[in-house]
Structure 1
């Protein structure tokens, strides 16, 4: 079983000697990143998503308060715990730091043992929260994302694409004649079939930024961020359809084929700030039903919509 990757700590301090001192404390235990300014800290936090940020209060340009406020205002970084390290020991400063969302507050000079214990505690809390979040957003049968996670990602990506003016793709699909499959082979093999299809879909997505989720029952959904163009989305859907067919899972009660097949509805759309993500689902569902009404085991595409 592969080892879990080491937790990442971002050290933010304008004094290189302090950065080196803290990094040396955690060498071999955590991966350490560093920034000498608040602006650089925000850049690294958004790209690397560390598990903990050790943040100095007195920084050139943006101070630690401003950095913390921006971290907590950005959905991408808001869940990263922040531990302030500062030479200011007054209760007013500490209260403000905690009100901004910091998890802890340590004063200089640094006590290495205290810092190591507090960092360990924060990392363990973060990892526990991450495990709970994963459980809450994972489908218990197939192990892929669940409907809740799909709804969250689609809403976030719809809002982001509406701001940037870029295209978003969505594929809605389901297993053809799945009720007949369950009636013929039983629910245990039906569950096995769902898991096999889910694994094909997850492996078939070409980019880590895309998401496949179990939408409900035998229906699945794929969110394709930042494109791809319409023909690229159709090509991906067709590749997924062929990969499911290649499993050659017997389905003798299907009027479509002798093996398990899927039907897919695809849209690519320029998102609109005056609508919400549910319009994307309705449009993709229309294409899914068009695929079903056309004989199943096929993909249907509506391109360049305004959703």
Structure 2
């Protein structure tokens, strides 16, 4: 695949022979996941977020129609393309599946050439759709995710954290005295400085679930799923130090003679009842505290503490 990540196909069929045949057929081209019943299909779809599901209609515990309904009802899996594979070959059966949101319908016994052709067609559509979505979700200046994309991902990750009981950390980063920087060195220089900080923020979010986004103006936001307060605050401090290490001259700053940033963060810990807006507001409050304390520092609040506590990480 020349270094390009292989697309994922989940094969869901209660018949072991069908699973094996389809799995071996698809493995040379795609990453293949297997499920033997409806519950396993939903669990693996949620955990792996495949690009396509080949879904048997008739399964003992939960039929394919119910699996599809549940996939469509969950925002995390609603976008996944589904092709029904079924021994039911009446036109009304096919129409029923398509009306429910299936992308295609293949009858058993299936022809392997037809299966491969239809899988390839639908995965091409998935690739094209994601390319368009990426263009619509990218900030033109920094090439980070834009605010619209952040809002979408934040809501999904907050819901996932509440369900899973795993922590979710959020950091707001603001370039210190950026107006003065633009006034002193002009906006093209300000754009270059912002892009440099954005590259560091993108590098700090290394895991697939992490997200760095431009929230507005000189403010960036980092979303760190399954990351506790100590780890997230440490990462934020490293990012703060990395920005200063760029040694971008800022003679108009009252903080330092180089460009610096302030970071405020908050963590949703297991058991917390905090809402998504409240968590964001907590991070914003910590950013304000970091600025009030002299800028070029990190202030972090852990909502899992019995009494929420703020920790300040100065350079």
- Distance in 1 between residues matched to 2:8 and 2:216, nearest whole Å: 35
Helix, strand or coil: the match of 1:88?
coil
- Determine if contact 2:9/2:32 at 8 Å carries over to the other structure: yes
Unaligned runs of at least 5 residues, structure 1: none
2:313 is matched with none
Give the Cα separation in 1 of the matches to 2:175 and 2:181: 10
SS of structure 1 residue aligned to 2:250 = coil
Q: Does 1:71 align with 2:71?
A: yes
Which residue pairs with 1:235 in the alignment? 234
Q: Which moved more, 1:180-189 or 1:246-255?
A: 180-189
Q: How does 1:255-274 map to 2 (within 5 A)?
A: 255-269=254-268
Q: Paired residue for 1:81?
A: 81
> Do 1:268 and 1:302's aligned partners in 2 also have CA atoms closer than 8 Å?
yes
Of stretches 262-271 and 215-224 in structure 1, the one that deviates more from structure 2 is: 262-271
User: Would the aligned equivalents of 2:265 and 2:283 in 1 still touch at CA under 8 Å?
Assistant: yes
Unaligned runs of 5+ in 2: 310-315
Q: Relative to structure 2, which stretch is displaced further, 191-200 or 232-241?
A: 232-241
Deviation for aligned residue 1:205: 3.6
The separation in 1 between residues aligned to 2:109 and 2:172, in whole angstroms, is 57
Quote the residue 1:201 is aligned against.
Answer: 201
Separation in structure 2 between the aligned mates of residue 26 and residue 281 of structure 1, nearest angstrom: 43
CA distance in 1, matches of 2:300, 2:39: 43
Secondary structure of the residue aligned to 1:263 is strand
Please say which of residues 33-42 and 77-86 is displaced more in the overlay: 33-42
Separation in structure 2 between the aligned mates of residue 111 and residue 166 of structure 1, nearest angstrom: 44
SS at match of 2:226: coil
Corresponding residue of 2:296: 297
Q: Is the 8 A contact 2:51 2:80 kept in 1?
A: yes
Residues 155 and 276, structure 1, Cα contact 8 Å, conserved in 2: no
Separation in structure 2 between the aligned mates of residue 138 and residue 87 of structure 1, nearest angstrom: 43
Work out whether 1:21 is the aligned partner of 2:16.
Answer: no
CA contact (8 A) 2:85 2:107 kept: yes
Secondary structure of the residue aligned to 1:212 is: strand
Structure 2 distance, partners of 1:218, 1:119, is: 43
- Give the superposition deviation at 1:212: 1.9
Classify the secondary structure of the residue corresponding to 1:248: coil
CA contact (8 A) 2:76 2:156 kept: no
Q: TM-score, normalized by length of structure 2?
A: 0.87
What CA deviation, in whole Å up to 9, does each residue of 1:135-164 have, x standing for no partner?
222222212221112212222333344455
Does residue 288 in structure 1 map to residue 310 in structure 2?
Answer: no
For residue 109 of structure 1, report the CA deviation from its aligned partner. Answer: 2.2
Match of 1:105 in 2: 105
Q: CA RMSD in A?
A: 2.5
Tell me if 1:39 matches 2:39: yes
Alpha-carbon distance change, 258 to 121 in structure 1, aligned in 2, over 3 angstroms: same
| 2:145 corresponding residue in structure 1 | 145
CA gap of 1:123–1:162, structure 2 versus 1, over 3 A, is closer
Instruction: Return the offset for 1:204.
Output: 2.1
Secondary structure of the corresponding residue to residue 105 of structure 2: strand
Matched with 2:125 is 125
Query: SS of 1:85's equivalent?
Result: strand
Partner of residue 312, structure 2: none
Aligned residues: 304
Q: Is the Cα–Cα contact under 8 Å of residues 245 and 261 in structure 1 kept in the other structure?
A: yes
Structure 1 CA distance, aligned partners of 2:154 and 2:24?
Answer: 41
